[in-house]
Structure 1
Amino acid sequence: MNFKKILFHFLLLFFLKTTLSGQVKNIGLPEIRNYKRIDYKGGTQNWNIDQDKNGNLYFANNNGLFQFDGSSWHKYNLPNFSSLRCLKIDATGKIFVGGYNEFGYFKSDLKGNLEYFSLSKLLNENNIKAIDFIWKIHLFQDEVIFQSFKKVYIFKNNKIKLLKAPNRFQFSFQVKNNLYFQDVAAGILKYNNGKFFALEGSKALNNTEIWGMFPMNNDKILITTLDKGIFVYDAKKLISWNTPANEFVKKNNSLGGVSIKDKFFAFNSVLDGIIICDLSGKIIQHINRKNGLQNNTVLTSFIDNKNNLWLGLDNGIAFVNENSPFTYFGPSYGISTVYASVVYKGNLYVATNQGVFYHPWNTAFEEDTFALVEGTKGQAWNIQVIDGQLFCAHNSGALQITDNKSVRLLNTKGYWSFKKVPNNSNLMIGSNYNGFALFEKTIKGWQYKNQIERYDKSVTSFEIDGDYLWFIKDDILYQLGIDENQKQFKTIKTYKNLSSSAKGIGSVQHLINHVVFQKNNHFYKYSHEEDVFFEDKKTSNLFKNIPNIRNLNEDFYGNIWYFFDESLGVLMKDKNGTYKNVVAPFSNLTGNLVYNYESVNTIDLNSIFIGLTDGLAHYDSKALNNSVTRPKAFIRSFSFSNDTLIFGNGQNKIGKYSIPYNSNHVRFTFSAPIYENVENIKFSYQLEGFDDKWSNWSSISLKEYTNLMEGGYKMKVKVKNSYGVESEETIIPFTISPPWYRHFMAYVFYILSIVASIYFIRKRIKTKIRKNKYYETIEQRRLYLEKESKIRQEQYELEKEIEKLKNDKLQIKILLKDKELVNNTLQVVKKNKILNGIIQKLKDINVESFDESTKFQFTKLNKSIVKEVNADKSWKDLEMHIKNVHFDFLKRLKEKYPTISPRELDLSTYLLMNMSTKEITEIMNISRGGVELARYRLRKKLDLNKKENLIGFLMSI
């Protein structure tokens, strides 16, 4: 059995080496990337493609010349804005182009911009109008040949030479060192030294269009026509190339093609994309709209410097990554999410969410899709070869596939996977939705025996170590011991941690002939005797520089495939038993793996199948070394102020640039002519003189710096491709000039100015010292006089203050005198009242009864009292005195309130003098109520509210 297995793998290896020894793989499809017109912002049709020595790609488009550097697109127009039909780049970097009534070349100017130079201007005006479209350009010997339908324009030594077509040219082709033209009447013409020579037997193709000519062995030429198929020309006659490729061309019409490393041909078609065939005409790949191409009409094809295929389409551009170690089986092959794959008895089987599909392994994967194995429709979780039999773990049960159309149902429960019992070759255990089941090999084949009792939860994956099953469920590690009759688990142990330092359990797997347990990349083995886990440091060391893994598996060759986050890596085992970590190539698959159900099927080192969410990937680990080359990074543009320098357009020398300080806002764009897996291309940069370290890897291809200080800088950039290979540094040195006020000459001026200023200041100081001594005397005199004046002023102020105090004191005295006068006056008034009373009483006395003497004395006394009363003028004197003293107050009050009466003025004066109500009644000779009424009327005239104090208001006037 082992011999058959080894023989089988040897035959597979031999087959693959014969089919994959060239560039093109016949298993799966390469990565196809479409660029739509909205991506490059141009016309739909792309007629020709070429590449310069820096790796930039150029496309002859209906809207002009388009350049693609891997990061950005750039458009260049002809002077007449005509459509381009062809282009060709010479060794000096000149880009020769041909359009309608115009041809010439683009060349980089001093700033790196592509500048157009017209060669059609070397013709006279009549010849320019007769040019029509230029369809082909050839760099032949020391000539540049532009071919239109009617003429050939030969550019040499800055002159144009014209050759007319014998009748009418179709197209022209360069085959090795020969140049051929097709004339619609004369057949195929060979060009040599300015003349045409007809090829014998080539007129048979006059009634069709030749779109491609390719070299073959023995100096034969392979010729593709538009609608007559493919022919082989042997210098005398044309022979139809009876191959599958020819049948395809006849059916779908050919628009030429390209030779791939002299081992394959790629033929463009009008109706059905492109085919790639070997030298015998056997179709290796067929790429069309069904399997990823955005348009089925391929106008041109081109092989770039990495042997990848570019297609100019009738609507858009396509990139076919033929140089990759990966090819894919996607929806066009009829398969969806792949959970497992296996090669069994000449067929490749895949377990998917729609069922089990198969495809003959030894048949080329052309347009055939995978076929469904009948009876397997639905979710298939796994497919395995155990003991020479094919088993499928299916949602519908445990299935055994005996051939492509025969499926035997072993058990109806849903199953996840199967494993042989190590110490009993006739037993196998399957994990299902209700725990575990036992299967037994009998004379009739494998049969379901029984469900193993005491554990009934669903387990997706498990390992067997002797009589024990190991698996993780709900973050707990289970150890299930099987009893002797295999009907139940005799022991069930659980573990939450592998050790005191390793909390939790990451995964369980079979690795290097042992069941091992892993947490945070530390691997442990189990001791049944001591019931403990101990670390396997040798295995742990293998993973010490690897991100924390989720799971892993070991293939037939000892390679260890590990899964982390949503990515994949592998430790490839060498012949000497050491391991090499390979992770970068698989970054292309990140996010496309089936999470927690990852599958890797290693048939041999040339054929490794990896399950994806949208199909199956085929990986050739040996092709990786051939496809990976060191990338090259470019600083695509360097912009500052209103100026931009373009690099990568053919320049070889990068000078040192000086930038004025007012342009210290700089901008850099990066590019790398890498076209495969562009989403995984990363840039890192450092501006030496500003940045302390390199930036983190990023897909951003632009960087700006603002407000840079003057000085020397070096902008450095490097790129890392999807395989993790880094480029060398690309460096652009530049300096920023200082502002004028920090220029060297400015500093010289500053120093001279400082020296002159010091001299001048010193001289001025000496002069000032002399003057200061004079002014000091003057100043002292001035200060003395000011002080004296100040003393006098203060004395004057003091005298005024004393005078004011005297006046205030006098005023107080006057007020006191006024008060005293009022009081005296009131006493006099009282006295007069008393005297008047006495007079009245004297009148009531009957004097008739008195004697004459008494009567005389009585009369004399009466007259004396009356005289005293009539002679008293104290009241009038009081009123006059009060008016004189309070004249200013009464004047202000009258001016402010013109309607106030004299009586109210008197009342205001009495109130100002702080006289009591009783005193006012006596003076004004009114009642107490009259005084209150007079006060009320006075408040009303003065517009005072109830809360305002009347006396305080009068004192404020």
Structure 2
Amino acid sequence: MTLKIYYLLSKTLTVVFLSLFVLINIAFSQEIFRFNKIGLKDGLPSGTAPLSFTQDNIGFIWFPVLGGVVKYDGYEFQTYNTFIGVNDTVFYPEIFYVFEDNNKDLWAAGKNILGKYNRKKDCFYFYKIKDESTQSSLPSVYCVQEGKNGMFWLSTDDMGLFSFDTNSKKFQQFNHALNNTNSINSDTLSDIVIDDSGELWISFFTKGLCKYEKEKDKFIRFSSNEMSSYNIVSDSIHALCKDNKGSIWIAFKNRVIAELNPVNNDIKYFYITGENINPSAIITTIFVDNNDLVWIGTYREGVILFNKETNNFIGIKRDDMISENDINYAYSIFQDKTGLIWIGDLEALHTYSKNSQVFINYSDDEFFNKMINNAGIQDIKSVNKKDIWLATTNGLYKWQINTNSFDHYLKDNNPNRDPKQFGSNSVSNIFFDNKGNLWAATFSGLYKFDTTSMSYLNFKHNPNDSFTMGPDGPDNIYEDKFAVIWVSTDNTIDKYDNGNKTFKHYNIATVRSFFEDSDGILWACSGSRGIYKYNREKDIFEEFYDERSFRGFSMITEDDNKNLWAASFYSGINYFDENSFKFQSFSIESGLPSGFVNNLIKDNSGMLWLTNRLGISRFDPERKQFKNFGEPEGLKIKDFLTTSVYKSPDGRIFMGGKNGMVSFYPAPLNQITPNVIFTDLKIHDISVIPSDTSVLKSNINVTEEIELSYSDNSLTFEYCALDFKDPLKNKYSFKLEGFENEWSQFSNLRTAHYTNLNPGEYIFRVKGTNDDGVFNEQGTSLKILILPPWWKTWWFTVIWIISLALLFGLTIRFITARRYKKKLDKIRQQQAIEKERLRISNDMHDEVGS
């Protein structure tokens, strides 16, 4: 539902557009909003200012643009700028509203036009609302609502209300009558909506609200006039919408919205005020999403969000410093079938998903970096919800989140130094034991730090005492469930005896981390060899190492099925089978952007998160699939430091690097199975246009079978999965039955090309995934019959065989007849000779007798 903002604005405004992801961090009910912007560089048609959106039953997104309608599949925009009328007349429409009815027919409405989409022919046919030859002014339709029994209701900006009977194809006009209080309030409508009982509600820019009772053919008025039967706070209403619970939401011109109960006409008002909000902003649209969050679009002031549960408003508006990236004009707001929010801006679309992964980059926080002196963050830990402890190259910091303050514990060379200080500026690793003591690994030894008394113990290597900590360390610290402290150095693993304050050494080098699995087994990862399992009965570490495929491990963890996974500096993430003592690597060939992995942690949903040289990756141990995050997804840090990862009790993950830190709550997986459809068919690299005379009789996305000639044997199939959250990460696999037996590897490619196909029957099948790897196993398919040339058809073969047989028969007959004739001629010749002999004999006999 939208305020009428004319397209003339596009001629007077100049805006810079980017197709990069935009991060807008807003603390709103513990939610951070991250929007994806789709602009001109992504192929969006110039002049776009969508006043409405709809999603058809197949899954395409449709919206109006200057001079037509656009269909979007997540990759490409197809514009329909001609409509077809009676006698195949062509019309160039101005469209303001698109929608799909209950019969799954798509409609487009605009200036004096109501168009219906023919999916098979892939074109629009139209009905004229008024006879242009007899009208001085024509209605412009900005909203259409579907009522009962095939009745459409059309809202116009200055010619009242229209109805359209889809059965009779007739329009009826409802106008304001000056002396009739039962007529419509005004001819200048702002919006319409139909409630759950089928009643039509109509708002006006300056004349309030009314409800149409069709049974009585009567309009019930709501007005700010005290004499009105139903009183409202203002007569200036710009938009309406209905939520999932049946309430009607009213957006006044500015400052206030309201929730109306259409059953008893009760109205509750909410006055707009809050952070980052201009209450005087002109409201263009209002929408309530599936989670009951109210979205309010404004003119040049972005979007305002209202949480009814907390009664809080917050604004998402343009920032003059980055105005090319932010929401500016929010003309329309829509939610598709997957829950994705769409916002129509001037020459831009914005999308938002609750499932989008949002990263908070502390490298962008000037205050944070100033407090830690731009130090590299080598480890992160916490013992409560209030404090985060940071081990850095510039000492130890306690970050008190609630007050956003920092306590800094730094080296002090003064012998009489403050007990809060300790002996090294670089802290490589920290750990809290079960008594709340903080253990810190530094260049000057191991520290046990009492965070209450601010006192500490220091453990160093003494070459003359074998019971002190090993040399060249410590590197990593861990406490197992038996309250045993384990410390790694460059050359040993050391077990600390708290009673004797001594260390026992195990000659295992370069251990980067420890991990205790769900069965209480302690594991250690060596950066120069394999992984080690601690045998408590024998008090030894057992090594798992394959010299033929050197791994070099950084961290190890366990998935929800108790499978062990180890991160390698060289071979990605490795599944370790303890029974076979073998590693299975998942690295670059499996979709990981880099084989170097130096952090690994499991989130609360069972997904594994890891860092590599190009960013952060999420690994699904069930599907064996990676999803990678980098700069396009809003990540600003690449140089992560080894074992600098931590998961807080509420599931938030922190990862540290050379130039700061990033934190995030793992987003839930996008579990919506995408619809996979065909978008184009090319023969010899030329797209086939559907028509009665074409080999493609209907639109390719509704075609099940095609028949081709033998010369049409070079085919290109184009397809897509209609999931718009992050379409560039949707993946596809295909095969051509009758030509190949195996499915292709999943990839981002959306085309499949085949050449020189032999005549025969084929079935092209394709299946696709969404951005989180959830795939449509059934996919879609197209049956192809390539006819043989006429000389290879069965009927030609039959005719050829019959002809050959006939020729053979005729030849045999000819030869037989010829032989018979020769034989007959010979017999006749013999008979003639015999007759001649007989004549001669008779003549001789007569002569002798005489």
User: What TM-score, normalized by structure 2, do the two folds share?
Assistant: 0.69
| 1:316 counterpart = 2:334 | no
| 1:479 counterpart = 2:519 | no
- Distance, in Å, in 1 between the alignment partners of 2:532 and 2:706 is 60
Aligned to 2:183: none
| Percent of aligned pairs sharing the same letter | 15
Displacement of 1:231: 3.5
Displacement of 1:584: 4.8
Matched residue SS, 1:751: helix
The answer on whether the counterparts of 1:32 and 1:293 sit within 8 Å (CA) in structure 2 is: no
Aligned to 2:487: 469
Distance 1:287 1:137, change over 3 A: same
Displacement of 1:55: 1.3
Aligned to 2:153: 145
Q: How does 1:94-113 map to 2 (within 5 A)?
A: 94-108=105-119, 112-113=120-121
Distance 1:246 1:256, change over 3 A: farther
Distance 1:258 1:738, change over 3 A: same
Output one character per residue of 1:649-682: Cα deviation in whole Å (capped at 9) or x when no partner: 9999644322222222222211221011222211
Aligned to 1:57: 61
The higher radius of gyration belongs to: 1
Code of the aligned partner of 2:209 = I
In the comparison of the two structures, how many residue pairs are matched?
685
Code of the aligned partner of 1:158 = K
1:270 is aligned, of 292, 299, 302, to 299
Q: How does 1:705-744 map to 2 (within 5 A)?
A: 705-727=754-776, 728-744=778-794
1:130 is aligned, of 119, 124, 137, to 137
Code of the aligned partner of 1:470 = S
Matched residue SS, 2:327: coil
Displacement of 1:319: 1.0
Matched residue SS, 2:223: coil
Aligned to 2:40: 37
Greater helix percent: which structure?
A: 1
Displacement of 1:37: 2.7
- Distance, in Å, in 1 between the alignment partners of 2:498 and 2:243 is 71
The answer on whether the counterparts of 1:49 and 1:87 sit within 8 Å (CA) in structure 2 is: yes
- Distance, in Å, in 2 between the alignment partners of 1:160 and 1:384 is 69
Q: How does 1:101-500 map to 2 (within 5 A)?
A: 101-108=112-119, 112-120=120-128, 123-126=130-133, 130-141=137-148, 142-148=150-156, 149-156=158-165, 157-166=168-177, 167-176=186-195, 177-183=198-204, 186-193=207-214, 195-202=217-224, 209-215=236-242, 221-233=248-260, 240-242=269-271, 244=273, 248=277, 250-261=279-290, 263-280=292-309, 282-283=311-312, 286-289=315-318, 294-322=326-354, 324=355, 326-330=356-360, 335-336=362-363, 356=368, 374=371, 378-386=375-383, 391-401=389-399, 404-405=404-405, 407-409=407-409, 410-411=421-422, 412-420=424-432, 428-432=438-442, 434=443, 436-441=445-450, 444-447=453-456, 449=458, 452=461, 461-463=476-478, 466=484, 468-470=486-488, 478-480=492-494, 493-495=507-509
- Distance, in Å, in 1 between the alignment partners of 2:376 and 2:235 is 53
Matched residue SS, 1:125: coil
- Distance, in Å, in 2 between the alignment partners of 1:185 and 1:53 is 37
Code of the aligned partner of 1:67 = K
Distance 1:319 1:493, change over 3 A: same
- Distance, in Å, in 2 between the alignment partners of 1:607 and 1:386 is 14
1:671 is aligned, of 692, 699, 720, to 720
Matched residue SS, 2:164: strand
Displacement of 1:516: 0.7
Displacement of 1:173: 2.0
Greater strand percent: which structure?
A: 2
Distance 1:553 1:509, change over 3 A: farther
- Distance, in Å, in 2 between the alignment partners of 1:240 and 1:427 is 54
- Distance, in Å, in 1 between the alignment partners of 2:452 and 2:308 is 51
Q: How does 1:496-507 map to 2 (within 5 A)?
A: none
The answer on whether the counterparts of 2:381 and 2:646 sit within 8 Å (CA) in structure 1 is: no
Aligned to 1:864: none
- Distance, in Å, in 1 between the alignment partners of 2:107 and 2:441 is 67
Output one character per residue of 1:863-918: Cα deviation in whole Å (capped at 9) or x when no partner: xxxxxxxxxxxxxxxxxxxxxxxxxxxxxxxxxxxxxxxxxxxxxxxxxxxxxxxx
The answer on whether the counterparts of 1:257 and 1:265 sit within 8 Å (CA) in structure 2 is: yes
The answer on whether the counterparts of 1:656 and 1:733 sit within 8 Å (CA) in structure 2 is: yes
Output one character per residue of 1:710-734: Cα deviation in whole Å (capped at 9) or x when no partner: 1111111111122322212312212
The answer on whether the counterparts of 1:588 and 1:677 sit within 8 Å (CA) in structure 2 is: no
Aligned to 1:341: none
Aligned to 2:524: 517
Code of the aligned partner of 1:701 = R
Q: Which moves more between the two structures, 485-494 or 164-173?
A: 485-494
Unaligned runs of 5+ in 1: 1-23, 338-351, 358-371, 497-504, 572-579, 773-957
- Distance, in Å, in 1 between the alignment partners of 2:616 and 2:663 is 14
Displacement of 1:171: 1.3
Aligned to 2:797: 747
Alignment RMSD, CA only?
A: 4.6
Matched residue SS, 1:297: coil
The answer on whether the counterparts of 1:637 and 1:669 sit within 8 Å (CA) in structure 2 is: yes
Output one character per residue of 1:666-706: Cα deviation in whole Å (capped at 9) or x when no partner: 22211221011222211111111112211111111122222
Code of the aligned partner of 1:419 = F
Aligned to 2:102: 91
- Distance, in Å, in 1 between the alignment partners of 2:780 and 2:73 is 16
Matched residue SS, 1:675: coil
Displacement of 1:754: 2.4
- Distance, in Å, in 1 between the alignment partners of 2:438 and 2:751 is 59
Code of the aligned partner of 1:119 = Y
Distance 1:175 1:604, change over 3 A: farther
The answer on whether the counterparts of 1:258 and 1:301 sit within 8 Å (CA) in structure 2 is: yes
2:676 is aligned, of 633, 643, 666, to 633
Output one character per residue of 1:758-800: Cα deviation in whole Å (capped at 9) or x when no partner: 345557778999999xxxxxxxxxxxxxxxxxxxxxxxxxxxx
Aligned to 2:751: 702
The answer on whether the counterparts of 1:462 and 1:470 sit within 8 Å (CA) in structure 2 is: yes
Distance 1:616 1:379, change over 3 A: closer
Displacement of 1:106: 1.9
- Distance, in Å, in 2 between the alignment partners of 1:599 and 1:192 is 66
Distance 1:639 1:216, change over 3 A: closer
Distance 1:46 1:356, change over 3 A: same
| 1:563 counterpart = 2:610 | yes
- Distance, in Å, in 2 between the alignment partners of 1:124 and 1:32 is 44
Displacement of 1:296: 1.6
Code of the aligned partner of 1:140 = G
